[in-house]
Amino acid sequence: MRPSLLSIIGLALKANVALSLPQGPPGPPGPPDLDHLQPFSTFSNRAIYTPPKGGRAVYPRVAELRDGTLLVTASVSGVAGPGNLPSFPIFESKDGGVNWKWISNLTDQVNGWGMGAQPAIYELRQSLGGFKPGTILASGNSWSNNGTRIDLYASTDKARTWQFVSHVAEGGRPNTTNGATPVWEPFLLAYDDELIVYYSDQRDPKHGQKLAHQRSHDLRTWGPVVNDVAYDEYLARPGMTVVTYIPPLKKWILVYERPVGNSSSHGVNYPVHYRLADDPRKFDSAEPIPIVINTANGTVAPNASPYVVWSPEGGPKGTIVVSDADRSAVYVNTAGADQEKWEIKECGQPEAYSRALHVFEKRPERLMVLGGDTFDGNGVGALIVSVLDIKKLLEGDKPGPTPPSCKAI
Ligand SMILES: *[C@@H]1O[C@H](CO)[C@@H](O)[C@H](O)[C@H]1NC(C)=O
Ligand SMILES: *[C@@H]1O[C@H](CO)[C@@H](O)[C@H](O)[C@H]1NC(C)=O
Ligand SMILES: *[C@@H]1O[C@H](CO)[C@@H](O)[C@H](O)[C@H]1NC(C)=O
Ligand SMILES: *[C@@H]1O[C@H](CO)[C@@H](O)[C@H](O)[C@H]1NC(C)=O
Ligand SMILES: *[C@@H]1O[C@H](CO)[C@@H](O)[C@H](O)[C@H]1NC(C)=O
């Protein structure tokens, strides 16, 4: 969580008082399919959702359901629903991301604070807490001047309606100053008959911020806070956990940003690091590894709000793909996470704060890149998506043409 983010995300705090907002559906439907794309094709920069003027979508997240349906959500500022509170709009695609429709808003049902930022969305593939496989779980940061809460919601009707399940973690009001006590940025993973909720935690007086998780068997009672990434150096603020599995390595990878005060490393203030572990509950003892890429023109380091996915394409070890906040390019590794073997590849979609990546389960040669606005709010305010062929990405091919619909944003 970056210091100035509160000012740009358009907090519930502000939305309550400052904004007079349009009601109605969450923006116009997707753009007409001018390029007549085939279902499950590749394409660049299609708009899923364009907020009304003054609105911004950031921090998109995606879940693929067992039947291949894609669900996408994002945090939206400058647009509020009932009670003038922010919520997470949910969009659905049945054709691999070519066409999208809005299906629901995930609203705060318990705090009166709204769902301010940092959504997470996930399909359960096992029974857990009385919920059947196919239940959609979602989380996010419900915040106000009175606190931050990472809450868990469930949908048993494919994200049409939502029910509150439990508070996972609670902290002080949003404040990125070290010494304040908020929680941020949940990430969901079911593992070994438990749900793991990873998040960023400023409540431990030993650390400006650390990454931790809590686990539950029943989705209602939560176990102790377990550290994932906590540095002895108080000023370090590791943030923004994303975790995925790398089958050929039989290891889990956790990516995070690692600012330390105002220091910079390879020219960036929020250098992206990763850790590898045999068990996704045991990252704390794993070695931190920075991503640094040597190019003909010197070193390049990704900066801030990383995301990570793995695809079996690209060789025996497949391809790890990482994104950051500062480049349209993505960072790839086909050498089993070897620290020396990262490469940078252009993906053709503008840089954005906390992009999401997705590898289609049934078409693992395809990479989806989802983005919204940049951190500073000078990028694309809409929620946009590209689908790339990973082989072509690795070969360095330029992605397909940009449909005209995206230019007007
Ligand atoms: C969904 O949220 C949008 C704001 O993002 C709001 O305009 C719309 O009224 C909401 N829809 C419903 C059905 O609550
Ligand atoms: C914050 O807490 C105060 C004191 O309990 C209460 O009066 C106020 O309504 C709360 N505001 C919100 C947004 O929860
Ligand atoms: C943010 O936290 C710092 C450290 O605890 C505190 O000094 C400051 O007053 C807080 N700011 C706000 C606006 O709450
Ligand atoms: C970062 O730099 C700003 C401006 O120089 C200063 O006010 C702040 O105390 C510094 N923060 C840290 C953690 O060093
Ligand atoms: C290195 O920088 C030059 C000048 O900006 C540019 O033309 C060239 O494409 C760059 N090479 C690589 C490998 O990035």
Pairing outcome for strands 101-106 and 117-123: unpaired
Whole-number Å distance, alpha carbon 146 to ligand 2 midpoint, is 6
Per-residue pLDDT, 378? 76
**Cβ-contact 62, 385 below 8 angstroms:** no
Q: Which of the listed residues 297, 300, 345 should we mutate to test ligand 5's pocket, taking the one with most ligand atoms within 8 A of CB?
A: 297
Q: Which ligand is nearest to the CA of 171?
A: 3
Ligand 1 binding pocket, CB closer than 6 Å = 23-24, 26, 76, 79, 81-82, 87, 89, 105
Per-residue pLDDT, 15? 34
Neighbours of 320 (CB within 10 A): 26
Residue identified by tokens 């691999």 is 96
Which of 221, 69, 192, 81 shows the shortest CA–CA distance to 126? 192
- The SS3 call for residue 189 is strand
Residue nearest to atom 11 of ligand 3 (CA): 175
Domain count, the chain: 1
pLDDT at 409 over 80: no
Q: Counting beta carbons within 10 angstroms of the beta carbon of residue 192, is it exposed (0 to 12), middle (13 to 18) or buried (19 or more)? A: exposed
Q: Which ligand is nearest to the CA of 145?
A: 2
- The SS3 call for residue 344 is strand
Percentage of the chain exceeding pLDDT 70: 89
- The SS3 call for residue 48 is strand
State the SS3 of 245-306. Answer: EEHHHCEEEEEEECCECCCCECCECCEEEEEEECCCCCCCCCCCEECCEEECCEEECCECCC
Per residue in 286-316, pLDDT (tens digit) is 999 999 998 888 899 999 999 999 999 999 9
Single-letter amino acid code for the residue at 258:
R
**Cβ-contact 162, 142 below 8 angstroms:** no
Percentage of the chain exceeding pLDDT 90: 81
Q: Counting beta carbons within 10 angstroms of the beta carbon of residue 288, is it exposed (0 to 12), middle (13 to 18) or buried (19 or more)? A: middle
Domain range for 311 is 5-406
Single-letter amino acid code for the residue at 294:
N
Q: What is the mean pLDDT of residues 225-252?
A: 98
Order of strands, sheet of 251-257, starting from the edge strand that comes earlier in the sequence: 239-246, 251-257, 272-277, 289-290
Per residue in 9-22, pLDDT (tens digit) is 444 343 332 222 23
pLDDT at 29 over 50: no
Whole-number Å distance, alpha carbon 224 to ligand 3 midpoint, is 26
Which of 62, 53, 5, 122 shows the shortest CA–CA distance to 374? 5
Q: Which atom of ligand 2 is nearest to the CA of 113?
A: 13
Per residue in 57-71, pLDDT (tens digit) is 999 999 999 999 999
Ligand 4 binding pocket, CB closer than 6 Å = 235, 261-262
User: How far is the first Cα of the chain from the last one, in angstroms, to the nearest whole number?
Assistant: 26
**Cβ-contact 325, 304 below 8 angstroms:** yes
pLDDT at 241 over 70: yes
Ligand 5 binding pocket, CB closer than 6 Å = 295-297
Q: Which ligand is nearest to the CA of 294?
A: 5
- The SS3 call for residue 50 is coil
Per residue in 134-180, pLDDT (tens digit) is 999 999 999 999 999 999 999 999 999 999 999 999 999 999 999 99
What is the rounded CA–CA span in Å between residue 382 and residue 374?
10
Q: Which helix (H) or strand (E) holds 390?
A: helix 390-395
Instruction: For residue 63, give the CATH number of its domain.
Output: 2.120.10.10
Per-residue pLDDT, 77? 87
Whole-number Å distance, alpha carbon 262 to ligand 4 midpoint, is 6
Q: Which residue has the higher pLDDT, 28 or 283?
A: 283
Cα→Cα distances 244→191, 276, 359, Å: 11, 10, 11
Whole-number Å distance, alpha carbon 5 to ligand 3 midpoint, is 15
Residue nearest to atom 6 of ligand 2 (CA): 146
Q: Which atom of ligand 1 is nearest to the CA of 26?
A: 3
- The SS3 call for residue 393 is helix
Per-residue pLDDT, 24? 34
pLDDT at 369 over 50: yes
What is the DSSP track for 203-219?
--TT-SSEEEEEEESSS
Per-residue pLDDT, 297? 83
DSSP H helix total and E strand total for the chain? 3, 26
Q: What is the dihedral of CA 144, 186, 231, 191, to 10 degrees?
A: 150
Per-residue pLDDT, 36? 80
What is the rounded CA–CA span in Å between residue 73 and residue 139?
11
Q: Which atom of ligand 3 is nearest to the CA of 178?
A: 4
